[in-house]
Amino acid sequence: MYSIPYLDLPPLGHAAGTVQLPGSKSISNRLLLLAGLSEGTTTLVDLLDSDDTRVMLAALRTLGCAIVQDGRLTRITGFAGRPQVASAELFLGNAGTAMRPLTAALAVLATQQGGAAYTLGGVKRMHERPIGDLVDALRGLGCTVDCLGTEGYPPLRVAGGTLDLAAPVKVRGDVSSQFLTALLLALPLAATDRAVTIEVVGELISKPYIEITLNLLARFGIAVERQGWERFVIPAGSRYVTPGEVHVEGDASSASYFIALGAIAGVDAPVRIEGVGAASIQGDIRFKEAAEAMGAVVHAEPNALEIRRGAWPLKAIDLDCNHIPDAAMTLAVMALYADGPSTLRNIASWRVKETDRIAAMACELRKLGATVEEGEDFLRVEPLARFQPASIHTYDDHRMAMCLSLAAFNRLNPAGDGEHAVPVRILDPKCVAKTFPDYFEALFSVVEARAADIPVITIDGPTASGKGTLSASVAAQLGWHTLDSGSLYRVTALAARRAGVSADDEQGLAATARAMQLRFEGVRVLLAGEDVSDELRDEAVGMMASRISAWPAVRAALYDLQCGFRQLPGLVADGRDMGTVIFPDAGLKIFLTATAAARAERRLNQLIAKGISASLDDLRADLEARDERDRTRATAPLRPAEDALRLDNSQLGIEASVQQVVAWWNARQPFDAR
């Protein structure tokens, strides 16, 4: 996951490959609650691991469930309708799928257990999301529910009361279907002696989510009788019975981003999505039909989808999106690539989600340059001929981040010239943790970008100037990859030494460099499967690396390997010739220096930390000799690129150096501060 303030997406190109979807959030949190309420142990396979499921798991633990997580399996031993604690304060983040059903379940349980009292709260936005319709329904049933802040909003306290099930329980269905889901999940706890009827007031929205609820209830032994979409009867004698093992299918809403990706960029080969398909019980699977209406070519298997681009530009649509409320957001961004204005209707529920998604989507699409009309319950988006670079606010809303990432395909824009392309900055990218923590990693694994579009910062300089340290920290701040090019010369030196190849044998060394079987695992370097990272830092290996790196054939042998590190979303490369030879088109080049005295002292401290003693004078003499050789060799000598910025960190701390480089980088980016 990218836990950084912003992630810049360079202009992206074609897409192909396979994505494994994380488990469905809606199914995961429903299953967790059902397992928690049941007697016995339920094993959930491929449960979603995200912010929203973590708060549900924590709440269930607090209430007395035993939970064991073991790889793909989560085993939950339920509290069988009797929480182990009579009072608890539950923090539920911004997870509506936890807040609503837990409120209902605990309100009902609190009526059955004298003295029980539970409070349920979350983050600030959760306290702005209405829950009044559910509170009214529960109070109508005889539960005692207090709103601790604003009436009709969390935080809530449920405590005591007397259930009266004689009359049907009434609940509004036109703001959020989660209120009905909450009652459907909670009321089997009360339907022991008599059937309980729920009546929906108003037109029920998001019906597919109710189908998921009914489907999962059935698996736990509760066969709800549905009478149209107005009445639901929970049979007398209801009792939750664990089905044993349940597999969590992939998240159909999350699939929408990759379906869109195939429709926009699946040009030569399809994008394959595994984990969800035609057999899905999730309503958002019908996003597939909306994408097909826009031109996508979709091949559906029971548990997988393959998507290719069909019509291009995409076809504009005018669609009632009530049946795919979450996935429909993705259509708003696809509309930028369409052949006319697209209208998404019946989406009023967007306004009470993680953020007011109609307002947020309109605002962010306009930043890209789009013309957008926003109504109480609709959004009309015109195709965009020329995208503007934009810094996208994500409103702590995972779907805003994932949808807007699709704007990075603007190089493919059918109304564009194929040349004009802009990056997209996604602010607070870690908000995807709510449902899809590794979304951006998954995206980068199936998309391509022109090498020239992938940003590079080079950091060259003499030995022990702090290149590696600076490079790693800048890369961590930007979410980029690193290339420690010195380690490639060092590993060549080590491989040659082991193979008995002389430092004077240019062709033998080049052959050694080409034949090396290397693997990089983070900062670790593996040579023929052996982790040689520590050995590479030997002073003798460094000295030999300096000698062999003077040979043009050795440098040529390592050229392609180094270029291959230029991968999405960006690269910070350090060495001697990064800015002059390997990445001459880098967007920012730094020449990092420090006095020989400072560098020798840093090296000494490094050795002392490793328990190795050395003389400061010897170290200084060695590094000066190495610098001299690196500077004076004929091929790719150590020198600043003409357009490099110089940074002397003799007196500048690591953090200050990092902030300086990031500031230089940002000053060159096209994003404004909106």
Ligand X SMILES: Nc1ccn([C@H]2C[C@H](O)[C@@H](COP(=O)(O)O)O2)c(=O)n1
CB of 560 to ligand ATP, least distance (A): 22
630 binds, among ligand ATP, ligand X, none (CB under 5 to 8 A by kind): ligand X
Binding-site residues for phosphoenolpyruvate, in ranges, read 25, 96, 129, 178, 357, 399, 434
Q: Does 546 bind ligand X (CB under 6 A)?
A: yes
Question: Using CB under 6 A, which residues numbered 481 to 510 contact ligand ATP?
Answer: 486
572 DSSP β-pair partners: 457, 482
Non-local (6+) Cβ contacts of 565 within 8 A are: 481, 482, 483, 571, 573
Q: Does 602 bind ligand X (CB under 6 A)?
A: no
CB of 9 to ligand X, least distance (A): 28
452 binds, among ligand X, ligand ATP, none (CB under 5 to 8 A by kind): none
Q: Does 593 bind ligand ATP (CB under 6 A)?
A: no
| Residue with nearest beta carbon to ligand ATP | 466
Q: Does 635 bind ligand ATP (CB under 6 A)?
A: no
Token digits for 379?
């959004």
Q: Does 468 bind ligand ATP (CB under 6 A)?
A: yes
How far is the C-alpha of 159 from the C-alpha of 113, rounded, in Å? Answer: 9
489 binds, among ligand ATP, ligand X, none (CB under 5 to 8 A by kind): ligand X
Q: Does 593 bind ligand X (CB under 6 A)?
A: no
Q: Does 649 bind ligand ATP (CB under 6 A)?
A: yes
- Of 549, 593, 649, 657, the residue at the interface with ligand X (CB under 6 A) is 549
Using alpha carbons, select from 272, 243, 269 the residue that is nearest to residue 255: 272
CB 99 within 8 A of CB 154: yes
Binding-site residues for ATP, in ranges, read 461-469
How far is the C-alpha of 389 from the C-alpha of 385, rounded, in Å? Answer: 13
Instruction: Compare residues 353 and 490 and give the one whose CB is closer to ligand X.
Output: 490
- Of 577, 588, 603, 604, the residue at the interface with ligand X (CB under 6 A) is 577
Helix, strand, coil percentages, rounded to 5, for the chain: 40, 20, 40
CB of 219 to ligand ATP, least distance (A): 56
How far is the C-alpha of 259 from the C-alpha of 144, rounded, in Å? Answer: 45
How far is the C-alpha of 482 from the C-alpha of 251, rounded, in Å? Answer: 32
Using alpha carbons, select from 2, 6, 123 the residue that is nearest to residue 428: 6
* Cα 630–Cα 636–Cα 641 angle in degrees, nearest 5: 100
Instruction: Compare residues 53 and 546 and give the one whose CB is closer to ligand X.
Output: 546
Q: Does 466 bind ligand X (CB under 6 A)?
A: no
Q: Does 462 bind ligand X (CB under 6 A)?
A: no
Q: Is the peptide bond before 429 cis (omega within 30 degrees of 0)?
A: no
How far is the C-alpha of 265 from the C-alpha of 309, rounded, in Å? Answer: 6
Question: Using CB under 6 A, which residues numbered 605 to 634 contact ligand ATP?
Answer: 606
Q: Does 544 bind ligand ATP (CB under 6 A)?
A: no
How far is the C-alpha of 354 from the C-alpha of 336, rounded, in Å? Answer: 23
Q: Does 579 bind ligand ATP (CB under 6 A)?
A: no
> Dihedral sign, CA of 360, 361, 366, 368?
positive
Token digits for 152?
């009709």
Non-local (6+) Cβ contacts of 187 within 8 A are: 104, 108, 169, 196, 198, 234
- Of 42, 238, 465, 580, the residue at the interface with ligand ATP (CB under 6 A) is 465
How far is the C-alpha of 240 from the C-alpha of 222, rounded, in Å? Answer: 7
CB of 472 to ligand ATP, least distance (A): 8
654 binds, among ligand ATP, ligand X, none (CB under 5 to 8 A by kind): ligand ATP
From 12-20, 119-127, 458-466, 512-520, give the range in contact with ligand ATP by CB under 6 A. Answer: 458-466
Instruction: Compare residues 121 and 575 and give the one whose CB is closer to ligand X.
Output: 575
Q: Does 165 bind ligand ATP (CB under 6 A)?
A: no
How far is the C-alpha of 138 from the C-alpha of 397, rounded, in Å? Answer: 29
| Eight-class DSSP state of 411 | G
How far is the C-alpha of 381 from the C-alpha of 314, rounded, in Å? Answer: 13
Q: Is the peptide bond before 302 cis (omega within 30 degrees of 0)?
A: no
From 99-107, 301-309, 428-436, 652-660, give the range in contact with ligand ATP by CB under 6 A. Answer: 652-660
Question: Per the residue annotation, which of 326, 577, 622, 627 is the catalytic one?
Answer: 326
CB 172 within 8 A of CB 201: yes
Instruction: Compare residues 51 and 577 and give the one whose CB is closer to ligand ATP.
Output: 577
- Of 38, 256, 391, 485, the residue at the interface with ligand X (CB under 6 A) is 485
397 an active-site residue? Answer: no
- Where along the sequence are the contacts to ligand X (CB under 6 A)? 463, 485-487, 489-490, 542, 545-546, 549, 575-578, 626, 630
Could you give the residue numbers annotated as active site? 326
